[in-house]
Structures are given as C-alpha cells and as structure tokens.
C-alpha cells in the first residue's frame, strides 16, 4: 500500500547513509560545482576581490543539472545584479552619508525585493538579490569618500559576475545536454520497471525508487525536452518521439507497479523474460543518446491469464512495441494541450500577487528579522557576526514548516561546515603556499557540500549551509584565512540568524502548510476528473503523471507539518483525515489510470472520486454493490464518452475494442473492467480495515485502567 505521508520527510540516522548514497549524475554534478568554485576562488585571489567566500557560495545557486538552464540562469542573474548595482548606486547618492537614511533604504529595498520575490517568478534568486543590496549599502556606509564607494560597488558586481562567468564557461564545456539527461532518466525508469518485474518479492531499493518516480511525475523530463529544442541539440521529430517515449514509460511504470503490489497479478516467467530483455535493450539505446523504434516483443497467449495479469501483459506489450511511435494522435494531443497550457501561462507576477496578504507578511517578517540582525551587530560593534544578516535571507520561506525544516537542516549543516572549516584552518591552511593548493582545498570542501546539496531534496539545505560555513571559515578575504576568531564569529552569526528567523516566523503571522492542503486536494480531485475524461492517450498520460506528482507534493506538505510548533500545527485528527484521503488516492491511482486507458469517462472513476470528496470509505458490502451498479449502468462507457470518429477524423481505439456487446471480446473486456473495479474497492477496504484496527489499538492504549 501507499507509504504513510508523514514518514516521507523524516530522515533519521538509519536512512542517512541511503540519502548520501551515489545515484546517477550525482558525482558529475558535485565535481562540476567543485570545479567552478575552485576556479572562482583562483580568480578572486589573483585579482584581490573581497568576499571570496560569497563568490564561491553563489555558485551553488547558479547551476542546474543541464547546461542550458545553468547558462540561462547565469545570464539572468548577471542582468539582475547589474540592475541592482545600478539601483544601489542611485540610492547611495542620497543615503551614503546619513546612517538613518541608509538604514531606511536597506529596509525599504529589502521589503520591496522580498515582496516581488514572494509574489513573482523571481523566487529562486530574489532573496539573494535583496541580501546583496542590503549588504552593499551597509558596506558603502563605512567608506570614507566617493571614489572608494565606486570601487566598492564594482567589487560587489564582480563578487557575483566572476562566478557567473566561470559557471557559464564550465557548463558550456562539460555540463550534459538536456536531451541526454532526459534519455538517462527514461532509461533509469525502464530499468526500475524491469527490476520490479523480474524480482517482485525481493526487498531492494528499486521498489521504493519506482514509487518515487511515479510521485515525481514527468515535468522535469518534459522541461529537458523543451530545452533540447531551445538549445538546438534535437530536432522536433526526435523530441516528439521522446515525448511519446515518456508517455509510454509512464504506462510501463504503472503496469510494473501493479504487478509488484498485487501478488495475484504477477506474470509467469515466460512473459517476464522477453519483457525484461526488451526493457534493458531500450534503456541502453536511450543512454547512448538515441531512442528505440520498431521493437518486436514475442509473448505467449494471454488468454490463459487472469484479467488483471492480462492487463499488465497487454499494457506492457503495447507500451514497448509503440514506445516511441508518433501517430496521428500526436496532432490532436498538441491541440488538446494548447488551451490548458495557455490558461496556465501567466506574466511575471503570480495570480493574486497584489491581493494575497501573505506576500506582504512574508516580506515584512523577513525584513524585520534582517534589520534586527543588522542593528544587533552594528550597535554592539561586533561586525564578525554579520553573517546573521545574510542567513536571514537564505533561511526564510513562505510557511512556518518550510522555514523550520530549512533552519533545522541549516543548523546541522552549519555545525558540519564549522568542523570542516576549523579543521582546515588548523591543519591545512598553515602549509598552503600557492593558489593551486588553495584551489585544491576549496575543491574538496565544495565537492563534499555539493554531494549533499545536489542529492536528496530531504537534506539539500544542509549541503548549502556546509558550503557557506566552510567558505566563510577558509576564505577570510582574497586569500586563505588563519584566524580562528573570524571562523568562530561567522559561525555564531549564522546560528543567531537561524534563531531570529525561527522566533519571528513561528510567532508573527505564522503560516501553516495546512492553508494550502485542502485547496490542493480539491485541485487533485479535479485533475483526476480531467484524466478520466480525456480520450487521447498522450494527453491523458501527461495529465495522469501531473496528478501523481501533485499527490506526492501533498504528501510532502503533510510530512512537513511535524516541523510546525504545536500552536501552528493543525489537530492530529485533521492531519489523519488528509493522510487517509491521500492514501486512498494513492491506492486508486493505478485502477483509475488503467480504467481511463481503456474506457475514458468511465462512471466508476467518478464514483471513486465522489467517495474521496466526502472523505468516508465504503464498507465491503457497499463497495461490491457499487461495483455491480457501475457494471449495470455503464457496460460500455467508451461508446458514450468519446466523440464520434466521423466528426474527428481519428480512429477511436476504445470503441474498436468492443465492437459488439455480445462478442467474446466484449465479455473479456467486461471481465477486465470488473477486475479493475474490484481491485480498487479491495484496496479501499484494506485501508478502511487498517484504519479501524489502528483506531481500536489507540482506544485500547488510552482507555482508563
């Protein structure tokens, strides 16, 4: 059954090693980040630019897994920082000599930039820009005259421009293309399906990874394919074939997941052998940069299989033999996607940007926390802890749970980074004699940090904090640092910034993740309604993958709630109800997908969705009655749900499956549909019984003696 949502985001000591284990692309990504950091430090050392630690740290925000997005993000960041430096130059003309005006300008610009960050698509880098503006204005306040101020602004621009330039050059040379990444991901998923089919009862990580792939959806692969067209590394025909391959891969994963979770559905060895061999060959082709076509798959007769096993065998055969075959349906898919895509497109600002008070509150809370830290180290004359000001912008997020989770990971990363940085100061930096040796030291620290930061999202923030603290300790200027006091003060500042953000975000306008859960649940139900009604396979599968990803995001939201303080977190009953709904959605995803594949618009899917809406599971007798009623009401839902082929000009595969209700083919299809309905209802009943047993145990545990 589905993994409990509350267990998804709780990495403990037992599974920490699993989160740090190698995975495809992790070594290459960590090496690329470390190389860029080392080259950045070499340039800052040669030219003597200040704040080399910040320059090296910015690298972690500029790079993505593919070269196109990394280059685009670098160029966009360079343009943004150029505009920001110009803005700071204008503001400094009026506020440079007046401390009161300088503080007011820092606060005003911080609030404005953070509001735009929260309410627009600037979110990934907006907080960094706000931090650079405030830090630059603060540094300008200590310069004696205008020429030095101009040079300081130039250094502030170079502080970001150097890592951007290095990142662009390195990414163009060694970063993988988006098409290659898409092929690797599809190959990984095919191998996971093959492993699950070959060893369904074995306890290995492939089963968990297969479920993770279904929760992730196809959005990232689709983005890579779009970027491949932008880059020019793939022609439109190849991208269309790879999109079809992405659609077929989803069908393969769903079939493999059904066979894994249901022992009665598993195929005989005579079926599994050819399928596994075909999937392995297809994976090798995708990893080599191509895609398989004209695939032949010989299978025994499926008539002797049970209805559910027949579903798995037929779906795997059709998905494999038509893996990258683009037919007439592709044209209709593009037309069907057009209105949905257009409706989702927006401008720079998010919907409700100027009416949602949460954007203003986020900007205000973060600005108050940052200004408190700024005034703290200014008034007590302890500039060494200025990192508390920087930390506020790095830690603050929209909800209390996300902020606390990020803070927890950052404190852990801060301690690890402090240990590594202090050890480097004591044992390594005293023997450094050249820039090359310094680059090697930075390469090591950046590689360790990037390994954590670009691995599992559950511990990624810890990796970012390890990098920041390590760089702050080792790079105390344009050269290696030997002063342990500087390392101590900067670590203390980071811890202070984390504590200040925690206090403000948990007590001033705290925002619970619960605020978006019910809305997302309603949207998820509507998404499955759209999936059930779509007659064309490509669009339907894309929407189904999106729905599965939405369910995964909701599980993560519920898992985040254990980070919320008791006065922010909803009641246990509220969380349990939402977990139960998500568990039932997870249990029904496979049956709903398979029903929609054969009979779009099936009324049984609407019945399941209505049941989820009311939040009350059916009893066993009610489930069987509902299945019988569904069979009586809609013996052939495809005939009424799909448009007339004469009107569309496209063959209707679902209608051709049941040409005559009295034919043997129709009887087989009725058996398959009945089996899917009973499968979905059986899973719901299993969840209901498990919930009843848990409630009974809880009542017994808390009963008075």
The 10s digit of each residue's pLDDT in 201-255 is 765 555 577 888 888 889 999 999 999 998 887 888 889 999 999 999 999 999 9
Q: How far is CA 123 from CA 117, 156, 281, in A?
A: 5, 21, 41
pLDDT, residue 185, reads 94
Q: Which residues contact 528 (CB under 8 A, 6 or more apart)?
A: 547, 585, 592, 605, 609
Q: How far is CA 542 from CA 366, 503, 595, in A?
A: 38, 42, 16
Residue 40 counted as domain residue:
yes
Residue 268 counted as domain residue:
yes
SS3 208: helix
Mean pLDDT of 329-349: 48
pLDDT, residue 46, reads 85
Token output for 541: 């599968």
Q: Does the pLDDT at position 179 exceed 90?
A: yes
* 49, 478 contact by CB (below 8 A): yes
Q: Say whether both 256 and 299 belong to one domain.
A: yes
> How many domains is the chain partitioned into structurally?
3
Per-residue burial over 270-300, b if 16 or more Cβ lie within 10 Å, else e, is ebbebbbebbeebbebbbeeebbeebebebe
Q: Say whether both 189 and 161 belong to one domain.
A: no
Residue 250 has φ and ψ, to the nearest 5°, of: -60, -45
Q: Does the pLDDT at position 346 exceed 70?
A: no
Rg (CA), the chain: 28
Residue 534 counted as domain residue:
no
Q: What angle do CA 573, 578, 580 make, to 5 degrees?
A: 90
- For residues 72 and 178, give the distance between their C-alpha atoms in angstroms, rounded to a whole number: 13
CA-wise closest residue to 553 among 531, 586, 592: 586
Q: Does the pLDDT at position 618 exceed 60?
A: no
Q: Say whether both 154 and 182 belong to one domain.
A: no
pLDDT, residue 205, reads 56
pLDDT, residue 491, reads 85
Residue 390 counted as domain residue:
yes
CA-wise closest residue to 246 among 546, 2, 13, 527: 546
- For residues 674 and 667, give the distance between their C-alpha atoms in angstroms, rounded to a whole number: 10
SS3 475: strand
Q: Say whether both 12 and 156 belong to one domain.
A: yes
Residue 514 counted as domain residue:
no
Q: Say whether both 99 and 237 belong to one domain.
A: no
Among 316, 342, 368, residue at a domain's last position: 342
Q: How far is CA 273 from CA 186, 219, 245, 269, in A?
A: 20, 31, 21, 6
- For residues 490 and 384, give the distance between their C-alpha atoms in angstroms, rounded to a whole number: 6
Q: Say whether both 496 and 635 belong to one domain.
A: no
Least confident of 76-80, 94-98, 215-219, 607-611: 94-98
CA-wise closest residue to 258 among 250, 248, 270: 250
Least confident of 309-323, 421-435, 539-553, 612-626: 612-626
Token output for 335: 């037309």
Q: What angle do CA 247, 249, 250 make, to 5 degrees?
A: 70
Q: Say whether both 170 and 198 belong to one domain.
A: no
Q: Say whether both 35 and 145 belong to one domain.
A: yes
Q: Say whether both 600 and 480 belong to one domain.
A: no
Q: Does the pLDDT at position 8 exceed 50?
A: no
Q: Which residues contact 308 (CB under 8 A, 6 or more apart)?
A: 258, 262, 264, 265, 672, 675, 676, 679
pLDDT, residue 141, reads 65
Question: Under the phi-then-psi rule, with left for phi > 0, alpha for psi from -120 to 50, and beta for the rest, what region is 601?
Answer: left
Among 313, 342, 371, residue at a domain's last position: 342
Residue 531 counted as domain residue:
no
- For residues 187 and 181, give the distance between their C-alpha atoms in angstroms, rounded to a whole number: 10
Least confident of 350-354, 378-382, 494-498, 666-670: 666-670
CA-wise closest residue to 627 among 681, 684, 669: 681
- For residues 523 and 520, give the distance between their C-alpha atoms in angstroms, rounded to a whole number: 5
* 424, 441 contact by CB (below 8 A): yes
Domain that holds residue 234: 178-342
SS3 4: coil
Question: Under the phi-then-psi rule, with left for phi > 0, alpha for psi from -120 to 50, and beta for the rest, what region is 43?
Answer: alpha
pLDDT, residue 283, reads 94
Q: Say whether both 464 and 380 belong to one domain.
A: yes
Express each pLDDT in 62-76 by its tens digit. Answer: 899 999 999 999 998
What is the value of pTM for the model shown? 0.81
Q: Who has greater pLDDT, 482 or 426?
A: 426
Rounded to the nearest integer, the mean pLDDT of the chain is 80
Least confident of 10-24, 109-123, 324-338, 555-569: 324-338
Express each pLDDT in 458-516 by its tens digit. Answer: 888 899 989 988 998 888 766 666 778 888 888 899 889 988 988 888 888 888 888 78
Q: What angle do CA 467, 473, 477 make, to 5 degrees?
A: 105
Q: Does the pLDDT at position 325 exceed 50?
A: yes
Mean pLDDT of 652-661: 40
- For residues 542 and 534, give the distance between their C-alpha atoms in angstroms, rounded to a whole number: 11
Most confident of the ranges 159-173, 289-303, 344-358, 448-462: 159-173
- For residues 57 and 65, give the distance between their C-alpha atoms in angstroms, rounded to a whole number: 17
Residue 247 counted as domain residue:
yes
- For residues 176 and 186, give the distance between their C-alpha atoms in angstroms, rounded to a whole number: 15
Residue 575 counted as domain residue:
yes
Q: Say whether both 78 and 124 belong to one domain.
A: yes
Q: Does the pLDDT at position 421 exceed 80?
A: yes
Q: Who has greater pLDDT, 699 or 161?
A: 161
- Taking the CB of residue 519, how many other CB atoms lie within 10 A of it? 9
Among 507, 525, 550, residue at a domain's last position: 507
Residue 70 has φ and ψ, to the nearest 5°, of: -65, -45
pLDDT, residue 233, reads 79
- For residues 467 and 689, give the distance between their C-alpha atoms in angstroms, rounded to a whole number: 48
Mean pLDDT of 155-169: 91
Least confident of 1-10, 120-129, 347-356, 532-541: 1-10
Mean pLDDT of 419-427: 91
Q: What angle do CA 298, 299, 300 make, to 5 degrees?
A: 135
Residue recorded with tokens 């404190």: 411
* 470, 445 contact by CB (below 8 A): yes
Q: What angle do CA 300, 282, 455 make, to 5 degrees?
A: 125
Q: Who has greater pLDDT, 348 or 523?
A: 523
- For residues 391 and 394, give the distance between their C-alpha atoms in angstroms, rounded to a whole number: 5
pLDDT, residue 207, reads 55
Q: Say whether both 136 and 201 belong to one domain.
A: no
């Amino acid at each position: 059954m589905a993994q409990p949502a509350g267990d998804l985001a709780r990495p403990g000591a037992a599974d920490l090693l699993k989160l740090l284990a190698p995975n495809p692309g992790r070594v290459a990504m960590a090496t690329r980040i470390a190389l860029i950091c080392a080259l950045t430090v070499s340039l800052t050392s040669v030219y003597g630019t200040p704040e080399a630690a910040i320059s090296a740290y910015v690298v972690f925000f500029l790079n993505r897994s593919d070269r196109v997005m990394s280059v685009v993000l670098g160029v966009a960041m360079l343009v943004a920082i150029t505009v920001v430096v110009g803005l700071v130059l204008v503001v400094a003309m009026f506020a440079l000599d007046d401390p009161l005006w300088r503080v007011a300008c820092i606060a005003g610009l911080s609030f404005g930039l953070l509001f735009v960050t929260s309410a627009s698509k600037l979110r990934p880098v907006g907080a960094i820009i706000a931090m650079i503006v405030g830090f630059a204005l603060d540094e300008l306040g200590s310069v004696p005259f205008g020429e030095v101020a101009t040079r300081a602004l130039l250094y502030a621009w170079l502080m970001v421009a150097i890592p951007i330039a290095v990142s662009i050059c390195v990414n163009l040379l060694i970063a993988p293309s988006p098409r290659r990444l898409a092929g690797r991901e599809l190959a990984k998923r095919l191998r996971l399906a093959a492993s699950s089919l070959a060893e369904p009862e074995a306890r290995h990580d492939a089963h968990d990874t297969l479920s993770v792939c279904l929760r992730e959806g196809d959005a990232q692969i689709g983005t890579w394919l779009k970027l491949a067209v932008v880059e020019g590394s793939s022609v439109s025909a190849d991208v269309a074939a790879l999109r079809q391959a992405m659609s077929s891969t989803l069908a393969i994963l769903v079939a493999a997941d059904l066979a894994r979770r249901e022992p009665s559905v598993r195929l005989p060895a005579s079926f599994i052998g050819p399928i596994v061999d075909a999937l392995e060959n297809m994976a090798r082709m995708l990893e080599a940069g191509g895609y398989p076509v004209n695939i032949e798959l010989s299978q025994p007769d499926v008539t002797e299989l049970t209805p559910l096993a027949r579903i798995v065998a037929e779906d795997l055969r059709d998905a494999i033999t038509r893996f990258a075959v683009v037919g007439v349906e592709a044209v209709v898919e593009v037309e069907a996607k057009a209105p949905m895509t257009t409706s989702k497109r927006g401008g720079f600002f998010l919907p409700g940007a100027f009416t949602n008070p949460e954007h203003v509150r986020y900007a205000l809370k973060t600005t108050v926390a940052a200004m408190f830290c700024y005034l703290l180290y200014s008034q007590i004359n302890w500039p060494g802890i200025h990192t508390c000001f920087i930390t506020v912008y790095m830690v603050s997020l929209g909800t209390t749970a996300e902020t606390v989770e990020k803070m927890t990971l950052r404190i852990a990363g801060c301690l690890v980074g402090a240990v590594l940085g202090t050890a480097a100061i004591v044992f390594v930096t005293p023997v450094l004699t050249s820039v090359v040796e310094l680059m090697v030291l930075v390469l090591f620290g950046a590689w360790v940090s990037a390994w954590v930061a670009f691995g599992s999202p559950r511990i990624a923030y810890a990796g970012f904090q390890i990098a920041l603290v390590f760089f702050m300790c080792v790079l105390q200027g344009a050269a290696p640092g030997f002063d342990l006091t500087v390392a101590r003060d900067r670590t203390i500042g980071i811890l202070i910034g984390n504590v200040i953000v925690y206090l403000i975000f948990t007590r001033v306008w705290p925002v619970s993740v619960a605020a978006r859960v019910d809305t997302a649940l309603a949207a998820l139900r509507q998404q499955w309604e759209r999936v059930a009604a779509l007659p064309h396979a490509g669009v339907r599968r894309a929407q189904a993958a999106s729905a599965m990803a939405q369910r995964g995001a909701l599980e993560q939201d519920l898992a985040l709630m254990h980070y919320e303080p008791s006065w922010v977190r909803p009641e246990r009953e509220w969380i349990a109800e939402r977990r139960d709904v998500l568990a039932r959605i997870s249990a029904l995803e496979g049956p709903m997908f398979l029903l929609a594949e054969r009979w779009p618009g099936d009324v049984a899917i609407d019945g399941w969705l209505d049941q989820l809406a009311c939040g009350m599971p059916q009893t066993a007798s009610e489930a069987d009655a509902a299945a019988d009623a569904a069979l009586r009401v809609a013996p052939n839902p495809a005939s009424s749900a799909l448009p007339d082929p004469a009107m569309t000009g496209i063959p209707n595969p679902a209608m051709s499956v049941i040409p005559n209700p009295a034919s043997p083919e129709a009887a087989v299809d009725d058996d398959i549909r009945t089996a899917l309905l009973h499968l979905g209802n059986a899973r719901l009943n299993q969840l209901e019984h498990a919930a009843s047993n848990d409630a009974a145990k809880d009542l017994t545990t808390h009963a008075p003696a």
